[in-house]
């Protein structure tokens, strides 16, 4: 937590190979909008976010909201 009620998560993955490097990075951010509404931001860059794109490099950004508190 870097601010009260803000949560960040960084996930780094690698195969420890240099040619090619099949790694990825994902950054998640959860932040309050109101007392019962939370926002989510996710940024992914690399290989293998799903089984369909295991061998394609991609960058994706996701944004969402949740209603209620459940953590």
Q: What is the pLDDT of residue 50?
A: 77
Per-residue pLDDT of 8-61, as tens digits, reads 999 999 888 777 778 899 999 999 998 889 999 999 999 877 778 777 889 999
Q: What is the pLDDT of residue 68?
A: 76
Domain extents in the chain: 7-67
In the block, which residue shows the tokens 């950054």?
27
Q: Could you tell me the pTM of the whole model?
A: 0.77
């Amino acid at each position: 937590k870097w601010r009260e009620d803000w949560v960040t998560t960084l996930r780094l993955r690698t195969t420890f190979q240099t040619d090619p490097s099949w790694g990825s990075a994902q950054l998640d951010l959860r932040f309050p909008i109101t007392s019962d509404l939370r926002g989510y931001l996710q940024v992914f860059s690399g290989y293998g976010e799903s089984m369909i794109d295991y061998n394609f490099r991609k960058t994706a950004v996701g944004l969402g909201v949740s209603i209620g508190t459940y953590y």
